[in-house]
Every structure is written in structure tokens, then in C-alpha cells.
């Protein structure tokens, strides 16, 4: 498993399937190649001060380390965006949430961006008008 470190990789993963859960949001992107699993971790300043954000990222990294090898697919990029709730949730719950989120992103229809079938995106009233 490799780490995502470049901003472009994080932005690319944001275009893939998404699975929000209580403690984090999982984003997954199939790179369409047979390469290693790549994982990135991030937290916004909304989560808290630097020590709190670091603690959330450490918990996320440990969760990923404990996931069975077959759950994360080769050739995929995964980004975990930490939420403040990850500080208080029991670690076992976070691990369960990760496994559930992985199942959700891998069963999403291709090209859906992780959305439910039949879900529509909101449009603005003046879309396309100059």
C-alpha cells in the first residue's frame, strides 16, 4: 500500500465514489490500472486544532492498517477525510464503518460518483444563463 501525497491525486479521488459515515468520508477512485492500493488521509481545520487533527489522522491510518488485505482493491485510490466525531467514537466502530464504507463504494454503479440510483444533483435556477 502506498500513500497519496500530491494534491492532484486527492482531487482526482474526489471525482470517484463517496461513502460518508459518522467519523469520516471515504472517497474511492478506480485508476483503471493494475497498480498498488494508494491511500490518502486529510482533515480540515474544522476538526480542531493541530493535535486533534493529528489524532484523527492517526486513528484513520491505524484503521486502514487493520483492514483485511482483500477489502481494498488493487488499482484504486482511497482518501479518508476525517471528521470531528472520529475523536470520540470507539475504535471498533470506526473499523466497522470503514468496512461498510468500502462495501458501499465498491457496489456503487460505475460513473455514479457513489450516488444512489435515481438520485439527481441539484441545479441552480440560472444554470447556463449569462
Instruction: Return the pLDDT at 118.
Output: 47
User: Can you read off the three cell numbers belonging to residue 62?
Assistant: 491505524
Whole-model pTM: value is: 0.81
Q: For residue 97, list its beta bridge partners.
A: none
Instruction: Return the pLDDT at 130.
Output: 46
List pLDDT tens digits, range 30-50: 999 888 999 999 999 999 999
With a pLDDT cut of 90, the percent of the chain lying above it is 72
Domains by residue range for the chain, with CATH: 2-106 (3.30.230.10)
Which phi and psi angles does 61 have, rounded to 5°?
Answer: -60, -40
Q: Is the pLDDT of residue 18 over 80?
A: yes
Strand order in the sheet with 2-3: 2-3, 38-43, 76-82, 24-30, 17-20
Q: What is the mean pLDDT of the chain?
A: 86
Closest CA to 47 of 80, 18, 13, 81: 81
**Average pLDDT estimate for 56-80:** 92
Which phi and psi angles does 28 have, rounded to 5°?
Answer: -135, 140
User: Can you read off the three cell numbers belonging to residue 66?
Assistant: 487493520
List pLDDT tens digits, range 86-118: 999 999 999 999 999 999 999 876 555 555 444
Amino acid at each position: 500500500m502506498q500513500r497519496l501525497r500530491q494534491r492532484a491525486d486527492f482531487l482526482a479521488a474526489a471525482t470517484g465514489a463517496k461513502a460518508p459515515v459518522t467519523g469520516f468520508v471515504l472517497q474511492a477512485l478506480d485508476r483503471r490500472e493494475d497498480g498498488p492500493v494508494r491511500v490518502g488521509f486529510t482533515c480540515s481545520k474544522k476538526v480542531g486544532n493541530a493535535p486533534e487533527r493529528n489524532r484523527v489522522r492517526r486513528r484513520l491510518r491505524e484503521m486502514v492498517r487493520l483492514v483485511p488485505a482483500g477489502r481494498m482493491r488493487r488499482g484504486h485510490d482511497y482518501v479518508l477525510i476525517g471528521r470531528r466525531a472520529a475523536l470520540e467514537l470507539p475504535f471498533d466502530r470506526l473499523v466497522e464503518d470503514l468496512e461498510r464504507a468500502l462495501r458501499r463504494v465498491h457496489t456503487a454503479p460505475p460513473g455514479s460518483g457513489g450516488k444512489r440510483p435515481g438520485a439527481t444533483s441539484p441545479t441552480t435556477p440560472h444554470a447556463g444563463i449569462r
